[in-house]
Amino acid sequence: MNWMVTSSIHGGTQYAPATRERYTAAVASLRNQAKEMKGAGFFWSVVHDQLRKDRAGAAFCPALAGSGGDGEPGHVSMPYARLLEQCVTHARECATLAGDLEQVADLIVRAHSLYDEAETKAETKLRKAAQIMTTVLPSVGWNTLGMLSLYGFVSGSIKDGKLNPVRALDATSKMDEELLASLAGRITNNRIAHILGGTQVAGAAERIAKYTSKFKNAMQGNKLTVREVQSTSQVAGASHSVASSMENLRRLAEERLGKITLNSGLSYATIAVQRYRRSDGTTGWLILIPGTDGQDDSPFGWEQNLELMSSNANRRRNADSFRMVEEAMRQAGIGKDEPVALVGHSQGGIVAAALASDLKDSYAIDHVVTAGSPVANHPIPPKTWVTSIEIEDELVASLDGGRNPSTEQWLTVRGKVTQTTGVTPPTVNADGSCTPGQNTGSVESNYAGALVADAPKTKEISHWLKYHQAAYRNATDLGSPAVDAHERHFQQIIDGELIDTRYYEGRMSHD
């Protein structure tokens, strides 16, 4: 039993109505053909059953029973065994072809986001209903959440064969954003605003951060020291795509957390800044920003998340993790007009979104990639392209209380984690390298979802970066024009030779 992520694509390239109609017509045609093939398969099953009845009813006729009589005048044996076998074969082939046609139709729908608008409208109605319920009758909403969590925990634990608290998230993922928006409305004393179309999460984060930032400064201090550190082994190699950048980010993040051993000597609160000489001779930059590590003197602590999600730009800029990356950019010598791409996981993605929002006049931040980051409320300028990757039940990406904007410049890949059998997943080796998995080569195994590398047999928190990597891999396998356009835009920033990779470490202390 392995874990697979199936992706849906929202935003990105927008189609003209005529183009969308052609794709929709092709999908309808494929599904009609699938329906006809199912009917043909049913027909062959009926023929099979009828032949069996004929054979059973002709017990006293050797010729009809296919048991002899070739030498007798006027008698011909019926090859019942061969006919029955052919009927079964035809029924099975028709069913297989019908399944493949339906799968291709589904792939076209997902790759081109054909029903995204209709699905969004349906989801919006459901979310509004949930928001109204949690606002008008909060006890009912929270009791419902509790019952769903209990159901997910019990049913999931039975599947895993052991108690697994992570399973509580399975049944609540559809309501996470609505409940968080409702809770934020109560914190800001504006319970109706989010129902009418706005979200109060950023305002609630600001209210809470006023106090948590003071507590954090008292505990950690507010003096930030950023210094360049050396790696004794290669951690982040050359990146040429979103996927390879995420793999380098995973290696950096897991090395500092001790999940893999690369013997680099790098510690927590470390980011990577890469400089590329592009094909036209200009310079491009790529910055890899891992997530929260929670160390006592780390600028990537838990409290900084609230500051980064605040509605107050000054609060965001004063967050320690924001200040650390900004200082590393200054020390690395990034020019004002040199294109920059930021790739961040969890808090790292929130930092990237905040930098793009609040340093738009200081740096040319052209592309931001976030994985598992609640960034829907950040005022990222239209000039910056955003590729967001989120997992349905990871919870963290839902902490913004709303869905990301759906525009040509803002693309969101949403992944759903399911279990699958009969396929070997990729494996992350001790040195951080990845051995690709094996599959059957069928349409379903290649495109229905991407396997998660090095996943346990039982359900775990899907916030680990490897789940976002699988989601993006499935999105690229679909051949989506929207994903391809974002991929090309990202690659243009680092199109060329990697000149150097520099690592910067941050520490907090009292003055």
Tokens of 330: 């200054």
Give me the pLDDT at residue 389, please. Answer: 98
Confidence of residue 1 (pLDDT cuts 50, 70, 90): low
pLDDT at 441 over 50: no
DSSP secondary structure letters along 203-217 = HHHHHHHHHHHHHHH
Which residues are bridge partners to 88 per DSSP? none
pLDDT digits (tens, 9 = 90+) for 359-380: 999 999 999 999 999 999 999 9
Q: Which of 95-104, 118-127, 252-261, 433-442 has the lowest mean pLDDT?
A: 433-442
Residue with tokens 């006592």: 296
Which of the four pLDDT bands, split at 50, 70 and 90, describes residue 124? low
DSSP code per residue over 379-445: ---TTSEEEEEEETT-SGGGTTSSPPP-SSSEEEEEEEEEEE-S-BPPEE-TTS-EE--B----HII
Residues in a beta bridge with 87: none
d(CA 75, CA 4): 58
Arithmetic mean of pLDDT over the chain: 85
Domain ranges in the chain are 26-68+76-115, 119-187, 222-509
User: Residues 87-120: pLDDT tens digits?
Assistant: 999 999 999 999 989 988 888 888 888 776 666 6
In this structure, how many other beta carbons lie within 10 angstroms of the beta carbon of residue 490? 24
The SS3 assignment for 497 reads strand
> Higher pLDDT residue, 361 or 184?
361
Instruction: Assess whether pLDDT exceeds 90 at residue 433.
Output: no
Q: Which of 39-48, 367-376, 404-413, 415-424 has the lowest average pLDDT?
A: 415-424
Q: Pick from 427, 410, 326, 329: which is nearest to 368 by CA?
A: 410
210-239 average pLDDT score:
93
**pTM of the predicted model as reported, rounded to 2 decimal places:** 0.82
Instruction: Quote the tokens at residue 208.
Output: 């809470």
Q: Is the pLDDT of residue 432 over 60?
A: no
Phi, psi torsion values for 28, nearest 5 degrees: -60, -40
Q: What is the pLDDT of residue 2?
A: 83
DSSP string computed for 247-311: HHHHHHHHHHHTSS-------SSEEEEEEEEETTS-EEEEEEE------TT-SS-SHHHHHHT-S
pLDDT digits (tens, 9 = 90+) for 50-80: 988 887 776 556 555 555 545 555 556 678 8
**Per-residue pLDDT tens over the stretch 304-341:** 999 999 999 999 999 999 999 999 999 999 999 999 99
Lowest mean pLDDT among 21-30, 82-91, 289-298, 422-431: 422-431
